[in-house]
Chain A
Amino acid sequence: MERTEIRLAGFGGQGVILAGMIIGRAAAIYENLEATLVQSFGPEARGGACSAQVVISTEPVYYPYIDHSDMLVVMSQEASTLFAPRVKHGGLILYEQDLVAASSLPPSIRALGVPATRIAEDLRRKMILNIVMVGFFAAVSRTLGREAFENAVRTMVPPGTETLNLKAFDQGYRHGADLLAKEGKT
């Protein structure tokens, strides 16, 4: 795998960093790739915003920072406004469609939305919208195998919450797979 740069962004408390950690662990532990994660402490981290930079590669990652990302996983309008313009041409934006206005995204970048909050609410745990996003990312990014993500979710969340978190992952994954099927990219 070539160096793949992923940025995750949203509000503090949405589990943005945990989502990044799950993606990084899926790559490093369960797919034997190299992965780094950097949490943003820059000016953009103020005001409740939160972001993580994840780099995945088959080669050692000597520089863990991202300028323009290959993929953006975004869970708030504020974060989208900040980071959507910093996605590479030919990149991909995955957004929470009830929290980010599709019309605000750069038209030149492929963007796919998921009602992660609603899915999480249907599972009676709104807080796990981040895990829904990870499932969605797993399905549409095609970076790693599904099992690697599931193993990472299972080992990163508190004991006793795995079943529901994996359901959330599955629902996000299904939504992504359905979208790809509609696009004829299965």
Chain B
Amino acid sequence: MKSNKHQLLLRSGPISSVDLPDGKRVDVSWFKDGDRKDLLAFYRDLPAEDRLYLRSDVTNQAILDRLVDELHEGIGVMIVCREGAAIIGECTQHFIHHGWSRHVSELRHVVRREFEGHGLEEIMIKEHIEVANDLGLDKVIVRLLELQKEKQRILESLGFEREAVLRSHATDLRGARHNMVIMSNYVAELWRRMEDLMRKTDMPAETDAQ
């Protein structure tokens, strides 16, 4: 994909920084090629259970290289969080360029557990929603286990809604089955809400009459 859309995907540089209560600082930025080695170390350090959430086994160098190649080809965009020299979280948006769901993208995000709850996921997801906006996508989805309540709460605060539950759709490391939840953010709908808000506040009589 080498088009205007591809140009929109060429994002680089810092996004934000977060100061943690323990004095550490986390820098959030767009993925760059030089992050590849640290990304591999990040994936390899993740608990095995958390790695099941990822689309592929990126602890394998060859598979990670393929993922990075996909990023260069515009099949996805990635944001990484760094604490010092180490990557401690990432959020990737995968695009579906062909077929029925070409107006939809999918997010996957993983943050090392000790760094959860500091707003890193929110920062990364908000940036990805803007990417989806820029690309004119209608919908961003996230798949997660039904028992991941805190992640669902974060997504709801960012405009995602629980759209479907796939029963016994995920298998954990111990072989237990779990329900999978699909949460959706109707990106275009968000801006319709903004438009509605402006119209309602500017012209209450007119909107009441509708």
Chain B residues engaging chain A, CB cutoff 8 angstroms? 126-127, 129-130, 133-134, 157-159, 185, 187, 190-191, 193-195, 197-199, 201-204, 206
Contacts and interface: CB of A to CB of B under 8 A. Distances in A.
B194 A157 contact: yes
Query: Dominant SS at the B interface?
Result: helix
Contact of A13 (B126, B190, B202): B202
Nearest to A160: B159
Nearest to B140: A160
Given A15-B202, A16-B202, A18-B197, 18 more contacts: A13-B198, A15-B201, A17-B198, A17-B201, A17-B202, A21-B201, A50-B203, A124-B133, A125-B191, A127-B191, A159-B158, A159-B159, A160-B190, A161-B190, A161-B191, A163-B130, A164-B130, A164-B133
B198 A127 contact: yes
Question: Which secondary structure characterizes the binding site on chain A?
Answer: mixed
B202 A50 contact: yes
Interface in A13-66: 13-18, 21, 39, 50
B100 to A, nearest CB: 24
B127 A159 contact: no
B159 A158 contact: yes
A18 B159 contact: no
B130 A158 contact: no
Nearest to A20: B201
Interface in A132-171: 157-165
Given A13-B203, A50-B203, A127-B191, A163 B129 contact: yes
A80 interface: no
A128 B194 CA distance: 9
A130 interface: yes
Contacts of B134: 124
